[in-house]
Chain A
Amino acid sequence: RKEVEQDPGPFNVPEGATVAFNCTYSNSASQSFFWYRQDCRKEPKLLMSVYSSGNEDGRFTAQLNRASQYISLLIRDSKLSDSATYLCVVNPRTGGFKTIFGAGTRLFVKA
């Protein structure tokens, strides 16, 4: 099983749609989880941290399910500018701050 696994997509959605991505992780001891977005040939940019209680930032909602070892990202009212690759990031708590990136899910939002 891959350490962090994501559906590569692509997800093609119209503007205004709601879209959800899931990510699974293999190390049950993992403690820190994040969603980043990456535009083509650019650096990853932090979208949001993912907390046990779930968290929301405007149109974006992140959830963590420790029992099933997955995290999710929900985007409401999609904008054209949301088109990007969404990266699931996990710190597997190996003691040395190793960070594992998923391969990313591509989202295309169309007018």
Chain B
Amino acid sequence: EPEVTQTPSHQVTQMGQEVILRCVPISNHLYFYWYRQILGQKVEFLVSFYNNEISEKSEIFDDQFSVERPDGSNFTLKIRSTKLEDSAMYFCASSEEGELPQHFGDGTRLSIL
């Protein structure tokens, strides 16, 4: 069964550094998403991406964050100047269409020191 893959599985970074989280969505999917989940809290929507542009973003997704689809397969989330409160699990997801179920990768655990 096709799956969404995310790398790395765990990223440890010093506060103030930039990180790039990588995702390979399912190949025939057109819609891509990033979520975060702080330990013990709910899954929070960050951004949706379609046709090479952001279709919607949440209040969390401020200027510190950016997304990119640099080639035909990867979908990345960049966090500039990381803060301690950015420590969380980050999930990538994809779907065939915008209102169809999303399939999630197994996440990247980001730890900011």
Give the B-binding residues of A (Cβ under 8 A). 31-32, 34, 38, 41-46, 49, 87, 91, 94-104
Q: Is A101's CB under 8 angstroms from B42's CB?
A: yes
Q: Mark B20-56, 1 if CB is under 8 A from A, else 0.
A: 0000000000010101000001111100101000111
Q: Are A97 and B31 in contact (CB under 8 A)?
A: yes
Q: Contact partner of B99 among A31, A42, A45, A100, CB < 8 A? A: A31
Interface size, chain B (Cβ < 8 Å) = 27
Overall SS of chain A's interface = loop
Q: For B45, give its contact among A38, A43, A100, A102 (CB under 8 Å).
A: A100
Interface of B is mostly: strand
Partner of A97, one of B35, B98, B103, B106: B98
* A95: chain B residues within 8 A (beta carbon): 55-56
Complex CA gap A50/B98 in Å reads 16
Q: Is the CB of B42 within 8 A of A102?
A: yes
Knowing A49-B101, A96-B56, A97-B56 are in contact, say whether A42-B45 is a contact too (CB < 8 A): no
A contact residues around B75 at 8 Å (CB): none
Q: A44-B104, A97-B99 are in contact. List 12 more A-B contacts (CB 8 A).
A: A31-B99, A43-B107, A44-B43, A46-B102, A87-B42, A91-B99, A96-B48, A98-B58, A100-B45, A101-B35, A101-B43, A103-B41
A to B CB contacts below 8 Å, 11 in the list: A32-B99, A43-B106, A45-B104, A87-B43, A96-B54, A97-B56, A98-B56, A99-B33, A100-B45, A101-B35, A101-B42
Give bound CA distance, A49 to B58, whole Å. 23
Do B99 and A46 touch (CB < 8 A)? no
